[in-house]
Amino acid sequence: MKTLSLLVVTLSLTLGMQLTAQNEEAYQKAMVTAIDQFDQVKDAASLQVCKNSFERIATSYPERWLPVYYAAYLNTELVYWEMKSEQNNQRLEAAEKYLQQLEELKDADRSEVANLWGYFTMCRISLNPQTLGQELYQPTVTKFEEAMRLNPANPRPVILLAFFEQNLPPFLQSARNKAEEKKKAEELFNQEQVRDTVPYGGKDFRQMIAGAENQ
């Protein structure tokens, strides 16, 4: 009887390990496919399809932070791609929902979460700068600075803060050297492994970073 019980436990553990391995393999395959799809985005329609892919992964793997991150990021990004779309309020609501979900995920990279909050508030300003600029510019800067403090090697808040500040009135800009900050961001991008454990901004975003050196 004891031998039978031990066999049942052993089989259960083995089956559980196999299912875990299969689940991990399925997750990794889905993420690689979605990120490759992201790299091929050419217009808002294909970005929408890519966003939907990450949202499905986020629903299937709610304990994983990266697909939730991408769902928030691409909802925000779509607003930039279609500034006059009637769907933008819904997109920002969805992005905020995913950002709040990220806050609850203990494994989420806190620097990346803070940076994405900064990007989100920056996007809100872009839709209504006259009304929201004065209200939200400081929260935006604060989030980017928080992201840099949490991880000085994170290039995303460095470049996004530089872009954000260069569009502010001179009296609101910090003493940071914009050209030096852009160069620093490019160097940090070149040092990181973009596909494994950190968010990937897509080739267009990285081309924007490289092009910033010429501005």
DSSP 8-state code for residue 174 = -
127 burial via Cβ count (<10 Å: 0-12, 13-18, 19+): middle
Query: Dihedral through CA 195, CA 83, CA 46, CA 66, nearest 10?
Result: 30
Confidence of residue 214 (pLDDT cuts 50, 70, 90): very low
Enclosing domain of residue 159: 110-215
Check pLDDT > 70 for residue 78: yes
For residues 143 and 115, is the Cβ–Cβ distance under 8 A? Answer: yes
CA atoms of 81 and 85, how far apart (whole Å): 9
CA atoms of 197 and 200, how far apart (whole Å): 9
| Whether residue 126 is found in the same domain as residue 211 | yes
Quick one: pLDDT at residue 102? Answer: 95
CA atoms of 162 and 159, how far apart (whole Å): 5
* Residue where a domain terminates, one of 74, 108, 142: 108
Quick one: pLDDT at residue 85? Answer: 92
* Residue where a domain terminates, one of 81, 108, 135: 108
> Which residue would you say has higher pLDDT here, 153 or 73?
73
Look at residue 4 and tell me if it is in a domain: no
Quick one: pLDDT at residue 46? Answer: 93
What average pLDDT does the segment 143-157 reach? 92
> Which residue would you say has higher pLDDT here, 191 or 198?
191
Confidence of residue 172 (pLDDT cuts 50, 70, 90): low
Q: Taking the CA atoms of the chain, what radius of gyration do you get in angstroms?
A: 20
What average pLDDT does the segment 68-83 reach? 94
Residue 153: name the closest of 111, 210, 125 by CA.
Answer: 111
Q: What amino acid occupies position 191? A: Q
| Whether residue 125 is found in the same domain as residue 153 | yes
CA atoms of 122 and 137, how far apart (whole Å): 7
- At CB < 8 A and 24+ separation, what contacts does 35-42 make? 35/195, 35/200, 38/70, 38/74, 38/200, 38/202, 39/202, 39/203, 41/202, 41/204
| Whether residue 114 is found in the same domain as residue 213 | yes
* Total-model pTM: 0.80
* Residue where a domain terminates, one of 88, 108, 128: 108
Check pLDDT > 50 for residue 112: yes
The per-residue pLDDT for range 9-55, each reduced to its tens digit, is: 545 555 444 545 667 888 989 998 998 888 888 899 999 999 999 99
Number of domains in the chain: 2
| Whether residue 33 is found in the same domain as residue 85 | yes
